[in-house]
A and B are shown apart, each in its own frame.
Chain A
Amino acid sequence: MYFQRNFRWQEIPLHLYPVLYFFFVFTADEEDTVIDSDGRQERAKDKERKKERDRKRRRNVARRASSARKEGKELEDRPEREERRGRKKRDKEGKGKGKGGEDERQEEVKNDTVAKIQKNFSNENTRKLEQKEMEVVGEEDGDTEGKRKNGRSKKDEKKEDKEKHESSEEEEDEEEKEGEEKPDVLSPEELEKLKEEVDERKKLISTLRGKPWPMRKKLLTLRESHEFVEKYEGALGKGKSRKLTVICYRDFENFKTACVPWEMKIKEIESHFGSSVASYFIFLRWMYGINMILFGLTFGLVMVPEALMGRPYGSMPRKTVPRADEANAMDFAVLWDFGGYAQYSVLFYGYYNSQRAIGWLKFRMPLSYFLVGVGTVAYSYMVVIRTMARNANEDGGGDNNSFNFSWKMFTSWDYLIGNPETADNKFASITTSFKEAILEEQESRKDDNIHLTRFLRVLANFLVLCCLAGSGYLIYFVVRRSQKFALEGLESHSWWERNEVNMVMSLLGMFCPMLFDVISALENYHPRIALQWQLGRIFALFLGNLYTFIIALMDEINLKREEEEVLKLNMTIWEASLYNGTLGANSTAPPITVHPADIPRGPCWETMVGQEFVRLIVSDTMTTYITLLIGDFLRAVLVRFLNYCWCWDLEAGFPSYSEFDVSGNVLGLIFNQGMIWMGAFYAPCLPALNVLRLHVSMYLQCWAVMCCNVPQERVFKASGSNNFYMAMLLVILFLSTLPAIYTIVTIPPSFDCGPFSGKSRMFDVIQETLESDFPAWFGKVFSYASNPGLVLPFLLLMVLAIYYLQSTSKSYKQANLELKKKLQTQNEENKKKTKMAAQKAAMDLEEAQNARSESPRQQRNNNASQQSYRGEKNTVAFI
């Protein structure tokens, strides 16, 4: 019996088959008789009861088998079942026949099982069965390689094997149900074991997805394990109605996947252009999600309450278009510039009233406005940092350089690529990356003229710096000029003069990167480093432009505030004159009603800032779309159709089709987001605008990529730069919240517009709320908590905590490295040991052979040893 356990036909030498056959038949018979006698003995003990039950069982089995056959629910189940039945018959008729051994064993097991159940030893029995099964499973898990070599027949055997177990289990189950003498008392050890079994099964179920098996095997194992678990969990008295929750869960998961927008579009692009282009669109979608939430916050908590519950339009000066502008407040040109009615609406800061509570809800408008402003920034920080942390986790902790070559080799092919052109590019880029890596490794790359290279690099950087400075100055100049125009009145100037700032900024953003690209050709860097330089320069350009813009805006804010001071004085004079002119000094007269449009008002610098940002965003969006249409679409059309009548090949030659520039597009997206963060406090409509923009550009760019772009020459990795972009986003977020926070904290709000009018600082709204809406002690606690004596130690504590965490992470890294080293040395030692052992064994064998050849008289001995050797081999095969 011992050698039958894992019987493998393939490993038995052919000439031994006849011997085995007899051996086999003999042992099989013997065992059968043993079992039979066993059964007889058992039956002798309590004949009557058992016989009856036995009969019942047989009937039941037959019935069930037939019903199962009728159902025929599985594809392959039927033939196998029939085969099994056939085998049963064969078995009854007369066993033996070489291959029958396996089946016999199954039958034996079954008989064995039945007998034991009848003895009420069911628990122990199942445990045995389970162990066998686990062995089978474990073995399959363990030596998949070997199994594969042995081909399908063994697999089939195992499958049958499993089926048998299953069926025997089922029978057992039946027996338990029917016999109603189910052992109600289980010994604690058995219970324990059963629990372990169930737990193991559960573990198997949960890890099954990660097993590299064919689907059919997985399904079989899963079904079986589920049956087992269900049955015995019931016996153990826990766990019910799992099926429903599983179905619900699966449906929910499906629903969730179906809810992810643009999944199919992205997949399509992915399959054409590889994962790096798709990563841009995934980034775009992620951005869209964030902006949706920002939009929800500002729209739901600021714009809608003000529009519904605040004072209506026309009730106050800040909510009315001034008399002078009324004539053309509805003109499209004015609206397009976000002047006129657009300026005096919920879209901008100035419209909001400083009334503490509005509507029947007593909604605290100014507080809500302030908190939403802070909340959007806080939320953005949280999301960006969390994503960065997750990406860092996925990177797998450090050692990026240790598998440089292997990664290039094993993971550089992008299986998604389904486009022959992309595939060719990919081949080329992989080849160059191999070559480069080899060159770097050899370090044989000698710069023949290092001075020239250095000079060129310095020159290139100088040129780039000139570009940056020039663009900065240009923006500053243009903004100042526009202020002059604004003072003179916008009507007297042309369209270009009015939109100069935005146009210049957009054009600079469009052409400077091209210039940088040309300049970077001078430097002769490695392409990856060149890309980094390029990104860094564009980043600097955008940032410089943005900050010049902000500095110019600051100047303008100061101008407006001076204007405001003057106006405040004028206001009092105006009011006095109003009173004096009509009623003299009569104080009992009713207050004079002046239409709000006629009341003079301050310049409201907050609205001006908001307007500037909105205009910037709009013009930026327009330039992006227009470049897309002209630079990509028109170019593609021209190249495509002029190619028929041109003197050189346009498609392969100079203009060709445009590539999709992943890094440039991502940078554009990041800066756009930075502007949103900067301006959202003064123009609550900005997130809404951005959502619109992202939505449109998703469709537009998807279309443009599919119809008029060619895959990139150098296909970059998608994930390698993921965190790089995220870090950029974080920097931008920080840099863009800086000016916003600065203006909020230091500059007093306008006196006659916005939710904070009348306060000396915007954050006074917190103080006010604490004083009037919270109990006195809360305010006290807050003031204590916010005094420097408490805040400073707290900050110190945080710094200490950061330091501590960083040092622990460093030490972990160290420990990791050391463990790795240890593992390596141990492996080497093991290797040495096995090598030594192998050598020794080889020496021994050689010696033995030498000895044998020296004494040819020992022929018989030799034969015997060979035979024993063969026997060994066979037993090895059996075991």
Chain B
Amino acid sequence: MGTTASQLGKDLLSEYQRFSELLSKEDRNLTSVPMEKVLSLPELKSNPFRKRICHVFSTSDMKDGSLTFEDFLDLLSAFSDSATLEIKSHYAFRIFDFDDDGTLDGGDLEKLVNCLTGETEDSRLTPEEMRQLISNILEESDIDKDGTVNLSEFQHVISRSPDFVSSFKIVL
């Protein structure tokens, strides 16, 4: 990794710096950063989807969510200002797809709601509310009525939303 730094453009340098800060001195020779280190970034610390984000962008074989520099760049590019709605919605779908089965089913949606309402017990929704909410969501966005939200349905919903693109961003 050290040899590649000299070939990076100026605009990449700051990202590389941030990335290499995550690697401590002894494991400089490693090419990928373990997930715990990535999660300690202040930009990700308060994000409820941080683990999902790491898993989605990780290309490691161990499925441990560790990121190489290239994965890190992929992450930043998907969350950048100039990424298109298509890219953003695609990655958002994969982030929300907790069990990686290619559709958002009831379980995924429940986990998603729990992520959004925070960890504390008092802010959780009651099971009744949860059921109501999920059925409402499926009613709205499940166009082919198969009980799950697939990618194209998701993108259809997202593309109408006025503020998805402006909020699906991470600034380092």
Binding site for B on A (CB under 8 A): 75, 145, 148-149, 151-152, 209-212, 214-216, 267-268, 270-271, 274-275, 394-396, 399, 402-407, 409-420, 422-424, 427-428, 430-431, 434-435, 437-438, 441-442, 717-720, 722, 823-824, 827-828, 830-831
* Bound-complex Cα distance A417 to B167 (A): 9
Does B22 touch A at the CB level, under 8 Å?
no
Does B43 touch A at the CB level, under 8 Å?
yes
Asked whether, in the complex, the Cβ of A418 is within 8 Å of the Cβ of B46, the reply is yes
Give residues 24-71 of B contacting A (CB, 8 Å). Answer: 42-49, 59, 61, 70-71
Q: B78-89 vs A: 1/0 string, CB under 8 Å? A: 110000101100
* Bound-complex Cα distance A406 to B137 (A): 5
Q: Which residue on A lies nearest to B168, using beta carbons? A: A415
Interface size class of chain B, counting residues whose CB lies under 8 Å from the partner chain: 35 or more
* Bound-complex Cα distance A211 to B91 (A): 11
Shortest beta-carbon contacts, A-B, top 9: A427-B118, A423-B46, A212-B90, A719-B163, A145-B102, A411-B164, A431-B117, A719-B162, A210-B86
Does B13 touch A at the CB level, under 8 Å?
no
Asked whether, in the complex, the Cβ of B137 is within 8 Å of the Cβ of A405, the reply is yes
Report A-chain residues with C-beta under 8 Å of the C-beta of B169.
Answer: 270, 275, 415-416
Does B113 touch A at the CB level, under 8 Å?
yes
* Bound-complex Cα distance A824 to B141 (A): 11
Binding site for A on B (CB under 8 A): 4, 42-49, 59, 61, 70-71, 73-74, 77-79, 84, 86-87, 90-92, 96, 100, 102, 109, 112-113, 116-118, 120, 123, 125, 129, 132-133, 136-137, 140-141, 143-146, 151, 154, 157-164, 166-171
Report B-chain residues with C-beta under 8 Å of the C-beta of A412.
Answer: 116
Q: Which residue on B lies nearest to A417, using beta carbons? A: B46
Contact flag A720-B160 (CB < 8 Å), given A211-B87, A434-B125: no
Asked whether, in the complex, the Cβ of A427 is within 8 Å of the Cβ of B70, the reply is no
> Max chain B CB contacts within 10 Å: which of A410, A420, A719?
A410
Report A-chain residues with C-beta under 8 Å of the C-beta of B74.
Answer: 214-215
Instruction: Tell which of A399, A411, A416 touches B158, judged by Cβ atoms closer than 8 Å.
Output: A411
Q: Which residue on B lies nearest to A717, using beta carbons? A: B163
Asked whether, in the complex, the Cβ of B161 is within 8 Å of the Cβ of A403, the reply is yes
Asked whether, in the complex, the Cβ of A823 is within 8 Å of the Cβ of B143, the reply is yes
Instruction: Tell which of A211, A415, A823 touches B167, judged by Cβ atoms closer than 8 Å.
Output: A415
Report A-chain residues with C-beta under 8 Å of the C-beta of B92.
Answer: 410
Asked whether, in the complex, the Cβ of B163 is within 8 Å of the Cβ of A411, the reply is yes
Asked whether, in the complex, the Cβ of B70 is within 8 Å of the Cβ of A215, the reply is yes
27 A-B residue pairs with Cβ-Cβ distance under 8 Å, sorted by A, are A148-B100, A216-B70, A271-B171, A275-B166, A396-B159, A403-B160, A406-B137, A409-B109, A409-B116, A409-B137, A410-B96, A411-B158, A412-B116, A413-B167, A416-B170, A416-B171, A418-B43, A418-B46, A419-B46, A424-B118, A431-B125, A434-B133, A719-B166, A720-B162, A720-B163, A823-B143, A830-B144
Asked whether, in the complex, the Cβ of A406 is within 8 Å of the Cβ of B163, the reply is no
Distance to closest chain B CB from A662 (angstroms): 14
Q: Which residue on B lies nearest to A427, using beta carbons? A: B118
* Bound-complex Cα distance A413 to B169 (A): 10
Instruction: Tell which of B44, B100, B161 touches A407, judged by Cβ atoms closer than 8 Å.
Output: B161
Report A-chain residues with C-beta under 8 Å of the C-beta of B84.
Answer: 209-210
* Bound-complex Cα distance A210 to B137 (A): 27
* Bound-complex Cα distance A417 to B154 (A): 23
Q: Which residue on B lies nearest to A144, using beta carbons? A: B90
Report A-chain residues with C-beta under 8 Å of the C-beta of B61.
Answer: 151-152
* Bound-complex Cα distance A823 to B152 (A): 14
* Bound-complex Cα distance A415 to B61 (A): 27
Instruction: Tell which of A152, A270, A435, A827 touches B145, judged by Cβ atoms closer than 8 Å.
Output: A827
Q: Which residue on A lies nearest to B139, using beta carbons? A: A405
* Bound-complex Cα distance A412 to B92 (A): 12
Distance to closest chain A CB from B64 (angstroms): 14
* Bound-complex Cα distance A427 to B48 (A): 9
Asked whether, in the complex, the Cβ of A416 is within 8 Å of the Cβ of B132, the reply is no
Instruction: Tell which of B46, B123, B166 touches A431, judged by Cβ atoms closer than 8 Å.
Output: B123
* Bound-complex Cα distance A414 to B91 (A): 15
Asked whether, in the complex, the Cβ of B87 is within 8 Å of the Cβ of A212, the reply is yes
Instruction: Tell which of B113, B146, B158, B160 touches A434, judged by Cβ atoms closer than 8 Å.
Output: B113
Instruction: Tell which of A399, A404, A441 touches B132, judged by Cβ atoms closer than 8 Å.
Output: A441
Distance to closest chain A CB from B166 (angstroms): 5
Asked whether, in the complex, the Cβ of A215 is within 8 Å of the Cβ of B77, the reply is yes
Asked whether, in the complex, the Cβ of B136 is within 8 Å of the Cβ of A414, the reply is no
Instruction: Tell which of A214, A402, A828 touches B140, judged by Cβ atoms closer than 8 Å.
Output: A402
Asked whether, in the complex, the Cβ of A396 is within 8 Å of the Cβ of B129, the reply is no
Contact flag A394-B59 (CB < 8 Å), given A434-B125, A441-B136, A827-B145: no
Asked whether, in the complex, the Cβ of B42 is within 8 Å of the Cβ of A418, the reply is yes
Report A-chain residues with C-beta under 8 Å of the C-beta of B164.
Answer: 410-411
> Max chain A CB contacts within 10 Å: which of B61, B77, B167?
B167
